[in-house]
């Protein structure tokens, strides 16, 4: 568990921040019951590698398998609620109103907790679109307005009849231009980046801390494990974010 001295050191760095950015990954949602990508997914999915399922090719080859995987994940996320780590980031935003959260997560737990400046790099698990983007990119589809046989996998686009797919970024797909550009600008402008719950393996999201550091920012990492980001972190807070972030915010508020 992280020492109080390191918490104090991190709080001192954040206290002086004039432009705070936060990068989150699946780890911040772990204590809400949402498995991370590197956890062995339980049940039916234990034999699949997420990086193999979250691809356009997998969907084209087996739309039902990929669709069912996302329906399963939507069910889990649907039952999840924000954990103390999410709420600590809300307190942080109250102290730093211009703070931005750049997230790799496709759940809406940062929104549910109450943060308001959130950049989703990899899309939104709850949203769907036409696989062909037949009405423009993207062509959003509200599946609550559709009737289809779930046993046959995804519904069909009401405009063109092609499959409906989750509106997330799959491996090998470009990130939404607007989100990526905003994330890079905020990473280059920040003077402190708090990196929470990411293995730092997936690019271009994992490049954000490097952009920040190259622009002179201090990097604070919250993660129970050693990661690709740990190598460039000025302060590494070892532990689960649901425990560490509240301690960090408490230390910050102590000198408010
Ligand atoms: C792109 C949405 C341009 C979908 C996701 C070779 C060929 C082709 C491409 C590539 C290649 N090599 C590299 C690439 C680029 C590729 C990539 O990075 N691949 C990886 C596998 C090497 N990236 C892409 O394809 C991106 N697009 O680059 O476009 C392009 C185009 C064509 C060809 C080349 C380039 C698109 C990437 C987006 C993929 N979509 N999600 C869905 O959700 O289904 S990525 C998905 O995985 C997540 O969104 C997240 O980004 C990533 C998982 O990372 P983490 O969030 O860090 O989660 P992880 O499980 O890894 O780690 C959890 C961490 O939490 C751990 O460190 C753990 O210790 C910690 N933790 C655990 N418990 C806690 C905790 N922390 C705190 N508290 C706790 N309690």
Give the per-residue pLDDT at 37. Answer: 83
Nearest Cα to Cα of residue 36 among 84, 113, 105, 125 = 105
Q: What's domain 1-33+82-122+173-256's superfamily in CATH?
A: TPP-binding domain (3.40.50.1220)
Nearest Cα to Cα of residue 208 among 81, 127, 147, 121 = 121
Say yes or no to pLDDT of 87 above 80. Answer: yes
Asked whether this chain's domains 1-33+82-122+173-256 and 35-79+126-168 adopt the same fold, the reply is no
Give the per-residue pLDDT at 51. Answer: 84
Q: Ligand 1 test: best mutation among 2, 24, 26, most atoms within 8 Å of CB?
A: 26
* Cα 174 to Cα 181: distance, rounded to the nearest angstrom: 12
Q: Three-class SS of residue 3?
A: coil
72 Cβ inside 6 Å of ligand 1: no
Just give the CATH number of 35-79+126-168: 3.30.1600.10
Sign of CA dihedral 26, 32, 38, 42: negative
Say yes or no to pLDDT of 136 above 70. Answer: yes
Please provide residue 219's backbone torsions phi and psi, each rounded to the nearest 5 degrees: -110, 125
Ligand 1: nearest atom to the Cα of 203: 18
Ligand 1: nearest atom to the Cα of 50: 44
198 Cα–ligand 1 center, Å: 9
Q: Where are the domains of the chain?
A: 1-33+82-122+173-256, 35-79+126-168
202 Cα–ligand 1 center, Å: 3
What is the band of 50 on the pLDDT scale with cuts at 50, 70, 90?
confident
Give the per-residue pLDDT at 42. Answer: 61
Q: Which long-range contacts (CB under 8 A, 24 or more apart) does 48-54 make?
A: 51/171, 54/168, 54/170, 54/171
83 Cβ inside 6 Å of ligand 1: no
What is the band of 46 on the pLDDT scale with cuts at 50, 70, 90?
confident
Q: What global pTM score does this model have?
A: 0.96
66 Cβ inside 6 Å of ligand 1: no
**Residues carrying an active site annotation:** 122
27 Cβ inside 6 Å of ligand 1: yes
Say yes or no to pLDDT of 198 above 60. Answer: yes
Give tens-digit pLDDT for 10-38. Answer: 999 999 999 999 999 999 999 999 988 87
* Cα 192 to Cα 113: distance, rounded to the nearest angstrom: 22
- Characterize the bridge pairing of strands 192-196 and 218-223: parallel
58 Cα–ligand 1 center, Å: 17
168 Cβ inside 6 Å of ligand 1: yes
């Amino acid at each position: 568990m992280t020492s109080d001295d390191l918490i104090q050191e991190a709080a001192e760095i954040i206290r002086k921040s004039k432009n705070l950015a936060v990068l989150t990954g699946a780890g911040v949602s772990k204590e809400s019951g949402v498995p991370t990508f590197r956890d062995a997914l339980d049940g039916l999915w234990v034999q699949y590698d997420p990086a193999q399922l979250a691809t356009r090719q997998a969907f084209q080859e087996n739309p039902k398998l990929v669709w069912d995987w996302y329906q399963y994940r939507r069910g889990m996320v649907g039952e999840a609620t924000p954990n103390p780590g999410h709420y600590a980031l809300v307190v942080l935003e109250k102290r730093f109103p211009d703070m931005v959260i750049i997230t790799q997560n496709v759940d809406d737990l940062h929104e549910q907790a109450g943060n308001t400046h959130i950049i989703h790099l990899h899309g939104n698990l709850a949203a769907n679109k036409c696989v062909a983007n037949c009405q423009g990119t993207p062509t959003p589809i509200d599946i609550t307005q559709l009737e289809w046989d779930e046993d046959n996998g995804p519904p069909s686009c009401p405009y063109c009849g092609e499959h409906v797919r989750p509106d997330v970024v799959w491996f090998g797909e470009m990130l939404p231009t607007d989100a990526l550009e905003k994330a890079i600008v905020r990473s280059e402008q920040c003077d402190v980046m708090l990196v929470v719950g990411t293995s730092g393996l997936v690019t271009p999201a994992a490049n954000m801390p490097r952009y920040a550091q190259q622009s002179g920012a201090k990097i604070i990492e919250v993660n129970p494990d050693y990661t690709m980001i740990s190598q460039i972190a000025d302060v590494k807070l070892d532990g689960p974010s649901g425990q560490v972030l509240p301690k960090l915010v408490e230390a910050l508020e102590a000198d408010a």
